[in-house]
Amino acid sequence: MAKEENLILLDCWASMYGMRVRIALAEKGIPYEYREEDLWNKTQLLLSMNPVYKRVPVLIHNGKPICESSIIVEYIDQVWNHKSPLFPASDDASGRARARFWTDFINNKLYQTGRKLYTTKGEEHEASRSEFIECLKLLQGELGDKPYFGGESFGYLDVSLIPFYSWFQVYGTYGSIDIEHECPELIAWAKRCIREKESVSNTLPDSPKVFAFVQDVRKR
């Protein structure tokens, strides 16, 4: 097991990607130093630790940066493998591939489509609305009747998706979408995560606070 010292997280409270990392660290019970980043006035430390993308989150472990949330969560699970495994077992190659596939879908398809709901208008906005609903329904189909995406235990794909729940008020309001009506099983899963996992309930910000953040972003 790696030493738990010299662990710094560069993050922004509203970032669903940063929330993933905070949830994973909480699941493992790993202490770390949190440093809030102003996304419009980034620190030199962030720029030097992530010179390629220049964005949060960045986990600095013993002076070495790990960037991109999906990679960070996988790193955390591999290095601190003594508690609360997040990834499917090492002999479950198809399960691991599936978890990575759907996380990539969330990172690229769900995020980008959701962003268009509050940044576009007209035909593009209407198209993104339909596409966003379809994305959620695909994820709901992957969940099926399981309590968590990986089965009986909270895992990697749950960590990947649950932060987006704190943004559902944003997506629902700007997209005129009743997400609970469209995807009741997905909402039930999210509420289960909050109810049963302190790592989630202690990490996710209140939806109105996220909504206010997005309103401020849209004014910039």
pLDDT class for 220, splitting at 50, 70, 90?
confident
Residue 140 has pLDDT above 50, yes or no: yes
Cα distance between residue 12 and residue 204, in whole Å: 12
DSSP symbol at 64: E
Cα distance between residue 196 and residue 198, in whole Å: 7
pTM across the whole model: 0.96
Q: What is the pLDDT of residues 67-93, one digit of tens each?
A: 999 999 999 999 999 999 999 999 999
Residue 2 has pLDDT above 90, yes or no: no
Decide: 195 and 138 in contact? Cβ < 8 Å.
no
